[in-house]
């Protein structure tokens, strides 16, 4: 061999003297893995059966960008076998937290419980983040997004422009490209204006025989941009015999704060929701967007303090609307809808919550509807919460991949049950001037119940 090698040792061979394996679990304070139970790492047997399900691995083909590799990177840091380098951090940041790997993993690795606390700890320990004031994070992400009313107010001028047709003019002139960075990326994500309707009332009674009593969660971005879907959802719940309560003191689920590295802010929101929803009064807390539901179902895992048992109890009550209606026994709608549709699995619904069959079963009941399978349905569309704003290149690649798959089905409508996916797919449809409608499953079901045509 003619080259000097620094790698030319076989490492970590168990049972050999020089091995380095005693370096297991050297997690001390200051280690980003400090808050992670080491058992969670040991679950991964390194079989690699998950890699092909991972969107970033599929796009890039590098194990560093796949679940098995990311688990190994984190575990090396946990073991004290490696310092977290900038490059390793990049690979971990590129993860969409879409949990496709969780669905694929036969070993039951709870990947979200590894990557989320790990990234959170890295962000919190990053002194540069504090030193360098990030206006986008501070103002837009943490102070604007999670508040539906503020968001609606800020969007008002844009909405007026859209109504007047000025929005499209500005887009044609390329004026939006002048808006810098992540803010500029948000503009094309804005959906075209629709009448969202008034704020939901505190109570909506069941239609027909009363079968359940539920509380409805409205959220932030979802309420500001998709209020019409909220209305559709409660109507569908009513049609299924549910008394629907909408507690007015509720707030955002906290996911935006949590994923932006502000664990404390997220906890505050979670705890406000604990107060807002009186658990004993309801059979379930219903969520209609996958991302919020996934976050709230994990309330019990994120923080270990006095309220933890209460949060865990809360989490148990949280149900995705499809999941809930499917379990309750879904009353099929009667209105015919002659259309071809395809269904996109929102990651936080299908992978994080394991709800994939219920929505399909429900739309299959709509008379006249033809359903076509979406290839790579479980591969993330690139929205992934606020990922789209931070990892623009990967987000764009995945959006294009998603749209090509949608178009390959020839369906007229694509359905999804998560705000982020709806925004992302809508934006891509507009960008590529494709002709396919993007709707929430509840919107379509509602049309069928009301016997209104498309």
Partner 1 sequence: MTFPPLIQELRRALGGENVISAPSELAVYDCDAFTARRRRPEAVVFPRSGRDVAETVRIALRHGVSIVPRGAGTSLAGGCLPGECSLLMMLSRMNRILEINLRDRTAVVEPGVLNLQLTTALGREKAGCHFAPDPSSQGASTIGGNVATNAGGPHTLKYGVTVNHVLGVEAVLGDGRIVQFGPVEDPAAFDLSGLMIGSEGTLGIVTKVWVRLTPDPQDHRAFRAIFDSLEDASNTVTQIIAAGIVPAALELMDQGILGAVEAAFAFGFPADAGAVLVIEIDGLTVGLDPQEEQIVALCKKNHAREVLQASTERERELLWKCRKSAVGATGRLSPSYILEDGVVPRTQLPRILGRIAEIGRKHQIRIVNVAHAGDGNVHPILLYDERDPEEFQRAMAAGREVLDECLACGGSITAEHGVGVQKLEFMPRQFTPADLAALRHVKTAFDPAGVLNPGKLIPS
DSSP category for residue 422: H
Q: Which is nearer to partner 1, 3 or 178 (CB)?
A: 3
Handedness of CA 290, 295, 299, 300 (dihedral sign): positive
How many whole angstroms separate alpha carbon 89 and alpha carbon 169?
A: 40
Q: Which is nearer to ligand SF4, 201 or 375 (CB)?
A: 375
**Strands 339-343 vs 369-372: parallel, antiparallel or unpaired:** parallel
Q: Which is nearer to partner 1, 84 or 395 (CB)?
A: 84
Query: Which one of 34, 42, 139, 173 is in contact with partner 1 (CB under 8 A)?
Result: 42
- 249's contact among partner 1, ligand SF4, none, with CB below 5 to 8 A by partner kind, is none
Contact 426, 309 (CB under 8 A): no
Closest CA to 424 of 232, 253, 186: 186
CB of 115 to ligand SF4, least distance (A): 7
CB of 408 to partner 1, least distance (A): 8
Binding site for ligand SF4 (CB under 6 A): 44-50, 53-56, 67-68, 70-71, 95-101, 104-105, 107, 109, 111
Query: Which one of 104, 114, 214, 419 is in contact with partner 1 (CB under 8 A)?
Result: 104
CB of 152 to partner 1, least distance (A): 42
Other CB atoms within 10 Å distance of the CB of residue 173: 10
Contact 286, 247 (CB under 8 A): no
Q: Quick check: 361 binds partner 1 (CB under 8 A)?
A: no
Residue 349, Cβ density class (10 Å: 0-12 exposed, 13-18 middle, ≥19 buried)? buried
Closest CA to 389 of 203, 225, 181: 181
Other CB atoms within 10 Å distance of the CB of residue 13: 12
Q: Which is nearer to ligand SF4, 46 or 143 (CB)?
A: 46
Backbone angles phi, psi at 142, to 5 degrees: -90, -25
Q: Quick check: 342 binds partner 1 (CB under 8 A)?
A: no
Q: Quick check: 5 binds partner 1 (CB under 8 A)?
A: yes
Handedness of CA 366, 385, 61, 406 (dihedral sign): positive
- 13's contact among partner 1, ligand SF4, none, with CB below 5 to 8 A by partner kind, is partner 1
Q: Quick check: 405 binds partner 1 (CB under 8 A)?
A: no
CB of 69 to partner 1, least distance (A): 4
Interface contacts to partner 1, rule CB under 8 A: 1-15, 19, 21, 24, 42-53, 57, 61-64, 68-69, 72-73, 76, 82-83, 85, 87-88, 91, 104-109, 375
């Amino acid at each position: 061999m003619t080259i000097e090698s620094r790698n030319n040792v076989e490492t970590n061979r168990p049972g050999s003297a020089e091995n380095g394996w005693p370096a297991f679990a050297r997690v001390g304070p200051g280690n980003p893995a400090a808050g992670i139970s080491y058992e969670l790492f040991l679950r991964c047997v390194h079989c690699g059966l998950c890699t092909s399900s991972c969107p970033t691995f599929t796009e890039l083909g590098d194990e560093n960008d796949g679940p098995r590799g990311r688990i190994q990177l984190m575990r090396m840091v946990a073991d004290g076998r490696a310092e977290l380098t900038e490059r390793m951090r990049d690979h971990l940041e590129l993860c969409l937290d879409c949990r496709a790997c969780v669905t694929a993993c036969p070993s039951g690795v709870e990947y979200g419980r590894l990557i989320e606390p790990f990234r959170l700890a890295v962000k919190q320990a990053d002194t540069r983040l504090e030193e360098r004031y990030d206006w986008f994070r501070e103002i837009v992400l943490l102070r604007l997004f999670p508040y539906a009313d503020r968001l609606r107010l800020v969007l008002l001028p844009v909405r007026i422009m859209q109504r007047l047709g000025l929005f499209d003019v500005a887009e044609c002139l390329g004026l939006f490209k002048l808006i810098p960075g992540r803010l500029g990326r948000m503009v094309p994500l804005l959906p075209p204006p629709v009448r969202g309707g008034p704020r939901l009332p505190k109570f909506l009674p069941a239609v027909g025989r009363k079968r359940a009593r539920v509380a409805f969660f409205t959220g932030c971005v979802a309420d500001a941009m998709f209020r019409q879907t909220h209305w559709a959802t409660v109507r569908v719940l009513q049609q299924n015999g549910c008394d629907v309560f909408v507690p007015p003191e509720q707030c955002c689920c906290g996911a935006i704060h949590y994923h932006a590295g502000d664990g404390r802010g997220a906890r505050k929101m979670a705890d406000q929701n604990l107060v807002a929803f009186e658990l004993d009064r309801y059979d379930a807390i219903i969520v209609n967007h996958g991302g919020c539901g996934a976050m709230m179902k994990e309330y019990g895992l994120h923080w270990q303090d006095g309220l933890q048992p209460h949060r865990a109890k809360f989490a148990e009550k949280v149900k995705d609307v499809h999941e809930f209606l499917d379990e309750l026994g879904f009353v099929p709608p009667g209105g015919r809808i002659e259309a071809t549709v395809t269904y996109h699995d929102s990651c936080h619904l299908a992978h994080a919550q394991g709800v994939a069959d219920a929505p399909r079963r429900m739309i299959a009941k709509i008379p006249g509807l033809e359903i076509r399978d979406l290839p790579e349905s479980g591969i993330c569309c690139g929205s992934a919460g606020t990922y789209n704003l931070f990892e623009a290149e990967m987000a764009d690649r995945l959006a294009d991949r998603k749209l090509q798959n949608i178009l390959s089905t020839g369906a007229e409508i694509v359905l999804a049950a998560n705000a982020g996916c709806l925004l992302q797919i809508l934006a891509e449809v507009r960008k590529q001037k494709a002709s396919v409608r993007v709707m929430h499953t509840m919107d379509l079901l509602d049309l069928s119940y009301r016997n209104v045509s498309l």
